[in-house]
Structure 1
């Protein structure tokens, strides 16, 4: 049964989609069965996986509206994992489902139909607390928070942790933060080091040892519709995301061993 993970932060520009795409690709390289779910109407995770968002026959929109089964809407990417893609059509879904009973659990029910087919389901969330994002957080086992080590990111993090607490109490008692990931990391910057130290003090073992560096090749990869490991596998960005996937798997293995 898949572990379902949301990549979320209410602050934009912190590397959510970059992390969702490259974590999915890295887990696939490590022989895991992965589904990437794009829950952002911009469709960047879809495009970053080499799939043209405007050419989708079916998307996550059709699944949320109950127009097709989730299996029908899932596309196989050429980069080792499967994608439930998104495009601008998703922007109108919130109004369409607003009056439905159980509207917060539509995605959860859909994913339950395919959960046994995957080891990991990664959900890329939009940088807003909409009903679409609530659907994502109600469906997952945990949240990975990518964030830059800068002052305003710390303020946004407080808002996000409050949001997670509210959804945990109201909709998903199993929801938890599984890890905080430092992105666009530059160890030469004093503020980066200071904020990193604060994160370490606050989150302790939930702060990943792996950091994602600022990397030109990592920034270029989405324009080519490729995860970094397929665009430039020797780059620092590719190595970092492989290390993140390995660290995540190791922590998951340790946790399972503790529970047995």
Structure 2
């Protein structure tokens, strides 16, 4: 009997805000789509930055908050109701709304296992049509993140190449690994240096990241004004061949597809 191929689930996390989680999620997803992969993006941040970037307008259909609730309540689920398609990027997504702020309370109400709700959601055969599912996490370490980490095949931690945001990375990594003690370092857990600048202090942090985490480290993403512009314009940089940020994200995409995690 032929084994059903499951999608690779990538959880992009960091408890700090402003370290390019959403920028990374959208560009990696778009880059995977450019490489011919079928991608589903999930926004689990009630601030809805990813959802807004995808130009979502409220359509009366259920969002990730309702999918969590229906799963916990063990209601029948029509998965098609939750999926939207972004034509520009040729990928599917499940949006978030500010209602998602109450999802932690909903997850705590689960009678089966409050930490495996996402695992149950994405283990449904409906999702086997996707090659990759990418979860853009909120800047916290709450139960939403626990669920995302546990259900993921790859935990991708964005780390800004700057001394202050870099501080505490090791402690955060240990906290995340306690959520998923079976994770293999360098295979299931990866570090993505972001916002790297051509100045000595940034270079020193990059060197420290490579010294500390070795094979876990993905190709670094440089900091450019084009990043802020792309967010405001709701565009992606991987489509711009002349943009070195876009090229850097495509390097990350190719590493993820190839399964080689050496920076």
Query: How much has 1:224 moved relative to structure 2?
Result: 2.4
Moved over 6 A (4+): none
Counterpart contact for 2:29–2:41, Cα < 8 Å: yes
Q: Within 5 A, what are the aligned runs for 1:233-252?
A: 233-252=241-260
1:73-112 equivalence runs, <5 A: 73-78=82-87, 79-101=89-111, 102-112=113-123
Identify the residue that residue 191 of structure 2 maps to in structure 1: 180
Structure 1 residues 15-24 or 65-74, which shifts more?
Answer: 65-74
User: Which shows bigger deviation, 244-253 or 132-141?
Assistant: 244-253
Is 1:63 the equivalent of 2:76?
no
Q: Note the residue ranges of structure 1 that are not aligned, 5 or more in a row.
A: 255-260
Query: 1:20 Cα shift?
Result: 0.4
Root-mean-square deviation over aligned CA pairs: 2.0
Q: 1:74–1:84: 8 Å Cα contact kept in structure 2?
A: yes
Q: Against the structure 1 CA distance between its residues 48 and 29, is the aligned structure 2 distance closer, same or farther, given a 3 Å change threshold?
A: same
Larger strand percent: 1
Question: Once the two structures are superposed, what CA deviation does each residue of 1:8-42 show, in whole Å capped at 9, x if it has no partner?
Answer: 11111110000001100000000011111111111
Of 196-205 and 217-226, the range deviating more from structure 2: 217-226
Aligned to 2:235: 226
Q: 2:165 aligns with which of 153, 161, 165?
A: 153
Structure 2 length-normalised TM: 0.87
What does residue range 167-206 of structure 1 map to in structure 2 within 5 Å?
A: 167-169=179-181, 173-174=182-183, 177-187=188-198, 189-206=199-216
| TM-score, normalization by structure 1 | 0.88
- For residue 131 of structure 1, the aligned residue among 117, 133, 143 is 143
- Cα deviation for residue 133 of structure 1 reads 1.4
Give 1 or 2: higher helix fraction.
Answer: 1
Larger CA deviation: 195-204 vs 149-158: 149-158
May I ask how many residue pairs the two structures share in their alignment? Answer: 247
**Per-residue deviation at 1:60?**
0.5
Cα distance in 2, alignment partners of residues 253 and 19 from structure 1:
16
